[in-house]
Amino acid sequence: MDPSKPSPLFQRLLIFILADLFGMFCLVLGVVWLVAGYRFPLMRFPNNSSEAFVSVAGGLAVSAWAAVKLLSALRDRAE
Protein backbone atom coordinates (compact mmCIF):
# COMPACT_ATOMS: atom_id res chain seq x y z
CA MET A 1 0.00 0.00 0.00
CA ASP A 2 1.30 3.43 -0.92
CA PRO A 3 1.67 5.53 2.27
CA SER A 4 1.06 8.81 0.40
CA LYS A 5 -2.50 7.80 -0.56
CA PRO A 6 -5.12 7.62 2.20
CA SER A 7 -7.08 4.40 2.45
CA PRO A 8 -10.68 4.26 1.20
CA LEU A 9 -11.85 3.56 4.75
CA PHE A 10 -10.13 6.71 6.00
CA GLN A 11 -11.81 8.75 3.26
CA ARG A 12 -15.25 7.32 4.11
CA LEU A 13 -14.74 7.98 7.81
CA LEU A 14 -13.63 11.54 7.11
CA ILE A 15 -16.72 12.21 4.99
CA PHE A 16 -19.04 10.87 7.68
CA ILE A 17 -17.27 12.84 10.41
CA LEU A 18 -17.59 16.05 8.38
CA ALA A 19 -21.27 15.33 7.73
CA ASP A 20 -21.79 14.79 11.47
CA LEU A 21 -20.07 18.09 12.25
CA PHE A 22 -22.29 19.87 9.72
CA GLY A 23 -25.37 18.33 11.33
CA MET A 24 -24.23 19.40 14.79
CA PHE A 25 -23.61 22.94 13.53
CA CYS A 26 -27.13 23.14 12.09
CA LEU A 27 -28.53 21.74 15.32
CA VAL A 28 -26.67 24.30 17.42
CA LEU A 29 -27.78 27.18 15.18
CA GLY A 30 -31.42 26.23 15.58
CA VAL A 31 -31.28 25.52 19.31
CA VAL A 32 -29.46 28.76 20.10
CA TRP A 33 -32.09 30.74 18.21
CA LEU A 34 -34.96 28.89 19.91
CA VAL A 35 -33.51 29.24 23.41
CA ALA A 36 -31.97 32.70 23.31
CA GLY A 37 -33.26 34.29 20.11
CA TYR A 38 -29.65 34.92 19.15
CA ARG A 39 -28.30 34.84 15.59
CA PHE A 40 -24.64 34.60 14.85
CA PRO A 41 -23.46 37.99 13.56
CA LEU A 42 -21.94 36.78 10.29
CA MET A 43 -24.94 34.64 9.37
CA ARG A 44 -28.49 35.75 8.72
CA PHE A 45 -29.95 32.39 9.63
CA PRO A 46 -32.31 31.51 11.24
CA ASN A 47 -34.65 34.48 10.99
CA ASN A 48 -37.71 32.97 12.67
CA SER A 49 -38.81 29.99 14.69
CA SER A 50 -39.85 27.91 11.70
CA GLU A 51 -36.35 28.17 10.22
CA ALA A 52 -34.91 27.30 13.63
CA PHE A 53 -37.12 24.18 13.89
CA VAL A 54 -36.11 23.12 10.37
CA SER A 55 -32.47 23.66 11.28
CA VAL A 56 -32.84 21.52 14.42
CA ALA A 57 -34.68 18.74 12.58
CA GLY A 58 -32.25 18.77 9.66
CA GLY A 59 -29.27 18.80 11.99
CA LEU A 60 -30.62 15.84 13.94
CA ALA A 61 -31.34 13.92 10.75
CA VAL A 62 -27.90 14.53 9.23
CA SER A 63 -26.12 13.73 12.49
CA ALA A 64 -28.08 10.53 13.01
CA TRP A 65 -27.45 9.43 9.41
CA ALA A 66 -23.73 10.17 9.67
CA ALA A 67 -23.41 8.39 13.02
CA VAL A 68 -25.12 5.26 11.68
CA LYS A 69 -22.91 5.23 8.58
CA LEU A 70 -19.79 5.87 10.66
CA LEU A 71 -20.54 3.00 13.02
CA SER A 72 -21.42 0.75 10.09
CA ALA A 73 -18.10 1.49 8.38
CA LEU A 74 -16.21 0.80 11.60
CA ARG A 75 -18.15 -2.42 12.23
CA ASP A 76 -17.41 -3.64 8.70
CA ARG A 77 -13.74 -2.95 9.28
CA ALA A 78 -13.76 -4.91 12.55
CA GLU A 79 -15.26 -8.01 10.94
Single pTM value for the model: 0.85
How far from 36 is each of 5, 20, 49, CA to CA, in Å?
45, 24, 11
Instruction: State the Cα–Cα distance between residues 79 and 76, nearest whole angstrom.
Output: 5
Most confident of 35-39, 40-44, 47-51: 47-51
Instruction: Give the mean pLDDT of 70-77.
Output: 90
pLDDT category of residue 1 using cuts at 50, 70 and 90 = low
Is 54's pLDDT higher than 90? Answer: yes
- Residues of the chain above pLDDT 70, percent: 95
Instruction: Give the mean pLDDT of 8-33.
Output: 94
Instruction: Give the mean pLDDT of 28-54.
Output: 88
